[in-house]
Structures are given as structure tokens and as C-alpha cells.
Amino acid sequence: MNAVVLRPRHRLHLFQGADELFAAVVHAIEHSSHEVRLESYIFAFDKQGQAVASAMESAALRGVRVYLVVDGIGTPPLPPQWTARFDAAGVHWHRFSPLGWLGVFFPVRWRRLHRKLCVVDGRVAFCGGINVIDDFQDPHLGTLDSARLDFAVQVHGPLVQDTQALMQRFWSRLDFAHGLESRQWSKAGSQLRSALRPQPAPMRAPAPQDSQGKIPAALVLRDNLRNRSRIEQAYRQAIGQAHHEVLIANAYFMPGRKLRHALEHAAQRGVRVILLLQGRYEYFMQFHGARAVYGSLLAAGVEIHEYQGGLLHAKVAVVDSVWATVGSSNLEPLSLLLAREANVVLRDPHFAQVLHQRVRAAIDEQSVQMDPLRYAQRGRWQRMLDVLALVILRIGLFVVGRRY
């Protein structure tokens, strides 16, 4: 297993929820001078999304090069009024791999863009699990009765240029495949841009990276090229080296054999392993698939807490109050085997403590601990549904040719 190499000199700030995150993202875009890049699985044009979209539109009109990529399943076709506004302003946008009505029959089309990344001017980056959507809205469930629990991180330091280079390479591949840069805007759109942007700002070199931060960190990816298992390996490495505690909050939890064994072995050697998982029914596979793997974890001494405060969407972990990760990757097959994901991994006692406190508060105040006896005594129908979810999962993995 290749170790994740952490680079020094970073400043990091933790955000909880979309309101905190996108206030900072919009501020950064509004003050951009040469380039904005944003990727998101979901981009909803609600109040939250329109604030981000308007900031990108304004940036493009003043000469900033703006690139937006959204997922073709997570995000439906963009509203016509916004495609027109983006095209007129010069925002480069792309909807990644829409499934289409036949796409379900072609496993290669199951691969998704699930990461949530933003880089502004090569000086600040944002990474996490938070989609561009209001915390009280869900694409499938509508208005929620409480805010979604999720996290993201703002980064200053060398990692920013790594993230920018990653996003530039991804756009270049999309451009090669789809001719995005050669998209012809309408004549009216070109005239509008010229009128509103008579003196486009020149491209500038990225601002010097912040050198005051001391936190070692790395951007860890999962893709279908060179990084097929990197995020899972980062988790397993940290769990394998844990001495005192492993704390994980993860929305969609169906770990494969290796990761599940790592958690069980840690608990068996005396490490306190605590999982905060989704307690509300959202999807059949997510709800029942997770419960299918509870048995061996509980038998090994792993604590499982189910979140009841609303929808859990977090993908974070803290190990021994010093190692932490914040990102987009769930611990289930879609994230670990098929989707493009991005997590920030770091070592810092202060950041880890802040994240630990946020997750512990959710456990102590808004979750219910799973009792091993109650789990063992669950009804026959519940057991059948759990097994069915696991069988469907394994059939799907067989179709895409991956062992899990």
C-alpha cells in the first residue's frame, strides 16, 4: 500500500454546511482576477446556486476565465435562462456524461463526477462533500425539516496549485472529447459580452501561495486512471496506524472487505472505533446495504451511531485526534470504484479537534447508538431486505467487472 505523502505549509479552514461554504466561495469569485474553476455533482439553481452562478457570470463579464463542470446525473439539464446567461457572459460550462435512457445498460456510463472542488486564481481552493444546493433542499425529497450535515475545507498553500492543475487537465480531456473551447456563442451573446466587457482583464500569473501555514496536507483522488484505490488506501493506512480512536462520519457506508477488516482489526486491538452513519431512509441500497455489514462490525466492538437529526451527507474522519480527512468520497462502491472523488487529507491537532468536536456533537445530540442485541433481533423482513440490497450490489459490481 503506497503511503499518502503530505506536503507542508498549508492553512486550512473547516466549513459546516452550504451557507458557510458558499459565502466564502462567492466572496472568492467576486474578487477573482484571472481564473475560476468549479466542479460539483449537484448544481441546483435555487437561491444558493443562483448566488454562485451570478458570481461566475459577473467574473466572466469582467474578463475572468470561468469553467464549470457538473455531473450529468446529479444535475439535470441547466435552465435555459442560465445557459443563455452563461453563454452570453462567456462562462465555459459542461454537463458531464448524462446517462440517457440507454445509459443504464452501459456500465462505462455509470462513472460519475462526484467531487466538489473550486479553485480561484490559483491562490485558494475549496474541497468537501457539499453540493451547490441549499441545506434544506433535496433533489428527491424536496424541502427538509432540518439542515443537511456536511463539511468542506478551504485551503491556502501548495495544494491549491495541485488542485488547479487537476481541474485544468480534466477540462482539457473534456475539451478534446467534446470541443468545449470551440463552442460558438451566439452573435447576440458576443455583442453583449463586448458591450459589458470593453477592456477584458489580462491573464495574470497566480498570486504567490501563502507561506505562513504549517499544516501538512495532500489532495487524494479517486479516478479511473492512476488513482483507482487511493482514497480507500488513505483510510486503511490511517486506521491501521491508529492507537486510540477512529471516528468516521459517512453518509453512504458499504465498505468492502479490506476496509471493513481494517475497522474490525482496529477495534479488536483496543482502538475505539466510532461510526456516525445515516439513520434516515433515503435510498433502498444506502439504507439496507449498510445494515447488511453491521453484524461483523458490531461483533468486533465497533460503535455504530445512526444520525437522526436530518440527512447526513458528511464524508469525514478523524484518527487519534491528529489525522483528518474531508472530502466527497463515501465508503461504498460507487465512490470507491466508479466515481471521480477528491478528499483533503491532513495532520494537525487543532483542525482535527475542531472536526472531532463537530462530529461528536452530532453523535451526542442527534444520533442513536445501534445495540448489537437489537440488531441481531431485527425482523425477518428487515433481514431479507438487507440481504437483497447486498445481492443487488454484488451483481452490479460483477457487471462492471470489479471485486469488492
**Grid cell 449498510 — which residue?**
290
Burial group, residue 348, by CB count within 10 angstroms (0-12, 13-18, 19+): buried
Cα–Cα distance, 253 to 206 (Å, whole number): 39
Give me the active site residues, please: 114, 116, 121, 313, 315, 320
Nearest to 262 by CA among 296, 286, 229, 287: 296
Q: Are 299 and 263 in contact (CB under 8 A)?
A: no
Cα–Cα distance, 336 to 42 (Å, whole number): 19
* Spatial CB neighbours of 302, under 8 Å, sequence gap ≥ 6: 263, 264, 267, 273, 274, 275
Q: Are 388 and 297 in contact (CB under 8 A)?
A: no
* 266-303 per-residue burial string, b: 16 or more CB within 10 A, e: under 16: bbeeebebbbbbbbeebeebbbbbbbbbbeebbebbbb
Cα–Cα distance, 159 to 312 (Å, whole number): 27
